[in-house]
Amino acid sequence: MQGPTGTRGPVDRFIDLIEVTAAGFLAVVTLLTFVSVLLRYFFAWAIPDSYDFTRLLLGIVIFWGIAVASYRGDHISVDLLWSASPPWAKRTMDVFSAIVTLVAMAAFTWMFALKVLGTRADNVGTFDLRQPVWIYYAVAWIGLGSAVLLLVVRTFRLVTAPEKLTTARDPQVLE
């Protein structure tokens, strides 16, 4: 969101960076899949480890996408009770759900960090090139860590300045 002088704060620039990073990973997955299909169809040749790369990069895309969706509030939700509630109850439900999501995502991030360390210790590699898999897991973990940071920001903004958030329920852009 823009401040009074028209500049964006560091938190908003961080959110933009997360969105661009997630989009970049999605573009790489799309390009890798497209090129792999073309090579197999026209030349009967496969990119070594293309399946592993696509699978691992798709996991990265999902985890970085979780960060974006968590902050924006664009995830799937059931709004039957929320839409029938008065404004004070809506805000209470929003804050409660943000706290529950933050706690769950923090636990998930912690457990995935243990998975990254375990995969590194086990020296797991891709099938053809034997590239270490833990590096991809670590990049995905950074996406989860970003999700936790963005959920902290979202929860703080819900409590202190809910007008700074644009959610799926409230699509107008605030200036």
Give me the number of domains the chain comprises. 1
Output the CA torsion 102→107→111→114 (10° steps).
Answer: 90
Please report whether residue 75 resides in a domain.
Answer: yes
Q: Is residue 2 part of a domain?
A: no
Mean pLDDT across the chain: 86
| pLDDT for position 114 | 97
Residue 115: inside a domain: yes
Highest mean pLDDT among 6-15, 61-70, 134-143, 156-165: 134-143
CA distance 175 to 165: 11
Q: Flag whether 126 is in a domain.
A: yes
Split at pLDDT 50, 70, 90, the class of 74 is low
Task: Give, as one character, the DSSP assignment of residue 175.
Answer: -
